[in-house]
Amino acid sequence: MSIMAKSILIGMAGFGVEIIEVKRNYLKFSVPEFSDHVDVHGNEMAGKLLIKRLKDKNVFGPDMQLEGVIRKGETWNNSKKKEAEAKMMKTLMELDYEL
């Protein structure tokens, strides 16, 4: 996974994206169903929109298959952001070193 892809994942962790499974050309992730955060157009940054935003990033390569699932009933807020970003960095480091 490229450095740019990892940076995107760390940033998206601030919106509630969590990695579930990673294989050679496959990334499964989950997103919250609801969020207190909205984009500049007033769209809630959760659920199907958040999955679409991550899939639309062209940093994962053409062969990478992305699968997103929604964590039903979960509402994301900014108080969870720092911890989520730190958890994502730890997860990505473990994947790099296969810990």
With respect to residue 47, please indicate whether it lies within any of the assigned structural domains.
Answer: yes
What pLDDT was estimated at residue 24?
86
In which domain, by residue range, is 8 found? 3-83
Residue 29 lies in a domain: yes
Say if 88 falls within a structural domain. Answer: no
Per-residue pLDDT of the chain (99 residues; tens, 9 = 90+): 788 889 999 999 999 999 999 998 899 999 999 999 999 999 999 999 999 998 887 788 888 899 999 999 999 998 999 999 999 999 999 888 874
Model confidence, pTM:
0.87
The reported pLDDT for the residue numbered 63 is 87
Residue 41 placed within a domain: yes
Q: For the chain, how many structural domains are there in total?
A: 1
In a domain, 96, yes or no: no
Torsion of CA 42, 51, 53, 43, to 10 degrees: 0
Predicted confidence at residue 48, as pLDDT, reads 95
Task: Examine residue 61 and state whether it is found in any structural domain, yes or no.
Answer: yes
* Residue 16: inside a domain: yes
The answer to whether position 13 is within a domain reads: yes
> Which pLDDT score, from 0 to 100, does residue 26 have?
92
| Sequential DSSP letters for 40-75 | TTS-BSSHHHHHHHHHH-TTS-TT-EEEEEEEEEEE
